[in-house]
Structure 1
Amino acid sequence: MLMACAVLVGVVVGCSPTEPVVESPSPVVSEEPSPTPVPTPTPTGPVKPERPADMDRTDEVGAAAAATYFLELYPYVKGTGDLEEWNALSFPEECEFCVNLAKSATDLRSTGQTFVGGEVEAEVSRAYEFDTLYGAYPLDVAVRQAELQILANDGNVVSAEPETSTTLRVVVIHDGTAWRLMDVGEASAS
């Protein structure tokens, strides 16, 4: 009996009587390409400020937290046109500032313009005694607003303002349920 030994492409097939033994090829596994991960969208535009926990208080501390929050909400409202919280917290019967901001944000959206920048940092610099006549807290708030631009649909700058700093008189009232913005204006020198 004749024996033949064969080596095929680096694999010893073995010795067998006259007929070579052929191994069946390894199955070829086709790997599906792994899907390309979809990038997570990054938020664009202004970010809504976090509501301070101190707004749950009904005293001077709560009034101060409410006043700064309202002012820090300003660029978010202008940039997004989201008026839900602004309208819920403002006192439109008394607050001309509140009404003007809501109208301005709506007008920007209807014309397709975009508000960019204008982030606000606010800090109460002086709290006045509780006003018993109106049931409100008047506060002076130091405000720094970053530079801002209003852009047209095509990206051209419609208007721009540099960074500004000022002190505003903010009047807030607690209506038994929540803080409401009653008035915002220039602080008088005292």
Structure 2
Amino acid sequence: MGACTPSGEEPTPTAEPTSESPSPSGGSSGESTDERPEVEAPERPVEMGEETVEGAVAAAKYFMQLHPYINATGDFTEWDALVDQRCVNFCAAARSDADELHDAGGYSIGGDVEFLSESGDGPYDVDSLENAYVVDLSVRFAASEDVSGDGSRQSYEAGEVDFRVALIWSDGDWAVVDAWTPEAE
């Protein structure tokens, strides 16, 4: 849940879950599991206001930055605004995993995103999509840890993943219509 993996694959845990109480500051085991670290929402890039390749790249990067944010906070406001209903694989699975974690009283720590490379192209008119853009991102995710409602923890190793993100420009804003790993093609 905390790590970002290709659609349908579960990340490999680095350790078995434990029954320790989460203690971000190293305090006593009597601390509540509700002591979640504060997480700032990623800043929406100004370039997202443009129907350009640069705007599409900015939107795709923002989308990737929202992934660890929804896992940490359960706040889907920006995610839902950016993700189109046609994004049923990666987008729906990521939201479902984060929703499940938070519904059970859990949250995620870490998973920060670093972009190693980026490129984009478009616009295209493909099938029923007009003004479609495709963005390729090479992403490094920092190690992360899911903390369940009962205090058990599941760790995930840092890793690098290549993503392809398809977006459309519609009604003056970007919408992610699909995201996948190129090797899954």
TM-score range relative to shorter protein: 0.7 to 0.9
In structure 2, the residue matched to 1:177 is 172
TM-score by structure 2 length?
A: 0.72
Corresponding position: 1:151 with 2:141: no
Which of 41, 44, 48 is matched with 1:51 structurally? 44
Residues 72, 122 of structure 1: 8 Å contact kept: no
User: What are the Cα deviations for residues 115-159 of structure 1, in whole angstroms up to 9, with x where unaligned?
Assistant: 1111112355222342222231111101110001111234331x2
CA distance in 2, matches of 1:72, 1:124: 14
Shift of the 124–177 alpha-carbon distance from structure 1 to 2, 3 Å rule, reads farther
In structure 2, the residue matched to 1:104 is 97
Query: What is the SS of the residue equivalent to 1:122?
Result: strand
Highest RCO, 1 vs 2 (Cα 8 Å, sep ≥ 6): 2
CA distance in 1, matches of 2:169, 2:147: 37
Query: What is the SS of the residue equivalent to 2:124?
Result: coil
CA distance in 2, matches of 1:143, 1:155: 29
Shift of the 124–174 alpha-carbon distance from structure 1 to 2, 3 Å rule, reads farther
In structure 2, the residue matched to 1:17 is none
In structure 2, the residue matched to 1:38 is none
**Bigger shift: residues 129-138 or 168-177:** 129-138
One-letter amino acid of the structure 2 residue matched with residue 181 of structure 1: V
State the Cα RMSD in Å: 2.1
Query: What is the SS of the residue equivalent to 2:123?
Result: coil
| CA shift for structure 1 position 167 | 1.0
CA distance in 1, matches of 2:60, 2:173: 12
Residues 124, 139 of structure 1: 8 Å contact kept: no
Aligned length: 147
Query: Which ranges of 4 or more aligned residues in structure 1 deviate by more than 6 Å?
Result: none
| CA shift for structure 1 position 95 | 3.7
Give the unaligned 5+ runs of structure 2.
Answer: 1-35
The residue correspondences of 1:11-160 to structure 2 (distance < 5 A) are 44-122=37-115, 124-133=117-126, 134=129, 135-157=131-153, 159-160=154-155
In structure 2, the residue matched to 1:37 is none
**Structure number with larger C-alpha Rg:** 1
Give the unaligned 5+ runs of structure 1.
Answer: 1-42
CA distance in 1, matches of 2:116, 2:57: 8
CA distance in 2, matches of 1:94, 1:44: 30
Same amino acid, percent of matched pairs: 31
Residues 172, 179 of structure 1: 8 Å contact kept: yes
CA distance in 1, matches of 2:86, 2:47: 25
Residues 57, 119 of structure 2: 8 Å contact kept: no
